[in-house]
Amino acid sequence: MNAPLIRLQINGCTVEARAGTSVAAAIAQHSLIFRRSTTGQPRAAFCGMGVCFECRVAIDGIGQRRACMVPVREGMQVSCDD
Ligand code: FES
Protein backbone atom coordinates (compact mmCIF):
# COMPACT_ATOMS: atom_id res chain seq x y z
CA MET A 1 0.00 0.00 0.00
CA ASN A 2 1.39 3.40 -0.99
CA ALA A 3 1.40 6.36 1.37
CA PRO A 4 -0.82 9.22 0.22
CA LEU A 5 0.64 11.92 -2.00
CA ILE A 6 1.38 15.24 -0.35
CA ARG A 7 1.58 18.49 -2.31
CA LEU A 8 4.09 21.11 -1.29
CA GLN A 9 5.95 23.97 -2.91
CA ILE A 10 9.69 23.97 -3.37
CA ASN A 11 11.17 27.20 -4.68
CA GLY A 12 7.72 28.16 -5.90
CA CYS A 13 7.11 24.92 -7.83
CA THR A 14 4.33 22.60 -6.74
CA VAL A 15 5.64 19.06 -6.31
CA GLU A 16 4.27 15.83 -4.91
CA ALA A 17 5.90 13.46 -2.46
CA ARG A 18 4.66 10.49 -0.47
CA ALA A 19 3.67 11.10 3.14
CA GLY A 20 6.59 10.24 5.39
CA THR A 21 9.16 11.43 2.87
CA SER A 22 11.66 13.95 4.21
CA VAL A 23 11.85 17.37 2.63
CA ALA A 24 15.43 16.51 1.61
CA ALA A 25 14.23 13.42 -0.25
CA ALA A 26 11.47 15.41 -1.95
CA ILE A 27 14.03 17.97 -3.13
CA ALA A 28 16.32 15.22 -4.43
CA GLN A 29 13.45 13.39 -6.14
CA HIS A 30 12.76 16.52 -8.16
CA SER A 31 16.44 17.16 -8.92
CA LEU A 32 16.44 20.52 -7.20
CA ILE A 33 19.57 22.11 -5.75
CA PHE A 34 19.49 22.92 -2.06
CA ARG A 35 21.68 26.01 -2.14
CA ARG A 36 25.07 27.15 -3.37
CA SER A 37 28.32 27.44 -1.50
CA THR A 38 30.09 30.77 -1.16
CA THR A 39 32.01 29.87 -4.33
CA GLY A 40 28.82 29.04 -6.23
CA GLN A 41 29.05 25.27 -6.11
CA PRO A 42 25.74 23.40 -5.75
CA ARG A 43 25.23 21.75 -2.37
CA ALA A 44 23.05 18.78 -1.44
CA ALA A 45 22.09 16.67 1.52
CA PHE A 46 25.05 14.63 2.70
CA CYS A 47 24.47 12.72 5.92
CA GLY A 48 20.69 12.43 5.85
CA MET A 49 20.57 12.29 9.64
CA GLY A 50 20.78 15.86 10.87
CA VAL A 51 24.50 16.12 11.48
CA CYS A 52 26.14 17.94 8.55
CA PHE A 53 23.71 20.86 8.01
CA GLU A 54 24.28 20.72 4.24
CA CYS A 55 20.53 20.50 3.68
CA ARG A 56 19.52 23.80 5.28
CA VAL A 57 16.36 25.32 3.80
CA ALA A 58 13.62 27.70 4.87
CA ILE A 59 10.33 26.00 5.64
CA ASP A 60 7.20 28.12 5.94
CA GLY A 61 9.36 31.19 6.40
CA ILE A 62 11.60 29.75 9.10
CA GLY A 63 15.21 29.51 8.00
CA GLN A 64 18.02 27.13 8.84
CA ARG A 65 15.81 24.04 8.96
CA ARG A 66 17.48 20.73 8.21
CA ALA A 67 15.47 19.29 5.34
CA CYS A 68 16.53 15.74 6.13
CA MET A 69 14.86 15.95 9.54
CA VAL A 70 11.47 17.32 8.48
CA PRO A 71 8.75 15.19 6.86
CA VAL A 72 6.72 16.73 4.05
CA ARG A 73 3.38 18.24 4.97
CA GLU A 74 0.49 19.35 2.78
CA GLY A 75 0.89 22.97 1.68
CA MET A 76 4.42 23.31 3.02
CA GLN A 77 6.48 26.14 1.47
CA VAL A 78 10.15 25.32 1.08
CA SER A 79 12.81 27.72 -0.10
CA CYS A 80 16.30 26.46 -0.84
CA ASP A 81 17.69 30.00 -0.91
CA ASP A 82 18.08 30.04 2.84
S1 FES B 1 21.78 16.02 5.19
FE2 FES B 1 23.12 16.33 6.86
S3 FES B 1 21.93 17.53 8.23
FE4 FES B 1 20.59 17.09 6.61
For residue 53, the ligand 1 atom closest to its alpha carbon is 3
Range of the domain at 62: 5-79
Q: How many domains does the chain have?
A: 1
Kindly give the distance from the C-alpha atom of residue 19 to the centroid of ligand 1, in angstroms, as a whole number: 19
Label each residue of the chain as H, E or C.
Answer: CCCCEEEEEECCEEEEEECCCEHHHHHHHCCCCCEECCCCCEECCCCCCCCCCCCEEEECCEEEEEHHHCECCCCCEEECCC
Reported confidence tier of residue 82, pLDDT bands at 50, 70, 90:
low
The CATH number of the domain where 36 resides is what? Answer: 3.10.20.440
For residue 52, the ligand 1 atom closest to its alpha carbon is 2
pTM for the structure as a whole = 0.91
pLDDT in tens, 6-48: 999 999 999 999 999 999 999 999 887 888 888 988 889 999 9
